[in-house]
Structure 1
Amino acid sequence: MTLQKNRATSGSAHWDDVQIGDSVQLRRNGHLEHTGRVDNRTADGAVVWVMSDRGNRQLFHVTDGYELAALDAGGSE
């Protein structure tokens, strides 16, 4: 798993290691809140759209307070 914390105070916070199709988890305050696959993202990695297994698509911005974890191909952390 690749963990990317968003640090809004750093001025260069981006989720630029995730790609379309990657399985991801989003945590806030240490709690798992969202899982799914990256459906789309901005070129600068500041915004990702995640499609859940149920087909719900949600937008996340790097300053929303989430830690984004990209899962390996095996789906494990």
Structure 2
Amino acid sequence: MTLQKNRPSGGPAHWDDVEIGDAVHLRRGGRIEYAGRVDNRTADGAVVWVLSDGGRRQLFHVADGFELTVADPEGARHADN
């Protein structure tokens, strides 16, 4: 599942369906460039912070050109969220 929505105004897509704790992949040019779990996000879905398995926290903005997908749509959310 791809978590980008195009705004009716033609503005940038937003990742407003992703939730904290979701396991995600960020792709650019068809390649996964970053993977981890959503650590936080803005209310409008324009910015997400992703924490990799190695503990690195990275900020991504929709304008950065990444496609954000849930890595495991059926089991992506943590039970403790």
TM-score by length of 2: 0.80
Contact 2:26 2:32 in 1 (8 A): yes
Deviation per CA, 1:20-40, whole angstroms, max 9, x where unpaired?
000000000111100000000
Bigger relative contact order (CA 8 A; separation at least 6): 1
Q: CA deviation at 1:12?
A: 4.9
Q: CA deviation at 1:49?
A: 0.1
Q: Which runs of 5+ in 1 are unaligned?
A: none
Contact 1:5 1:66 in 2 (8 A): no
Q: Which runs of 5+ in 2 are unaligned?
A: 77-81
Contact 1:25 1:70 in 2 (8 A): yes
User: Which ranges of 4 or more aligned residues in structure 1 deviate by more than 2 Å?
Assistant: 4-10
What is the aligned-residue RMSD (CA, Å)? 2.1
Q: CA deviation at 1:4?
A: 2.7
User: When you count strand as a share of all residues, which structure comes out higher?
Assistant: 1
Question: SS at 1:63's partner residue?
Answer: helix
Percent identity reads: 60
User: When you count helix as a share of all residues, which structure comes out higher?
Assistant: 1
Q: How many residues align?
A: 73
TM-score by length of 1: 0.84
Contact 1:38 1:50 in 2 (8 A): yes
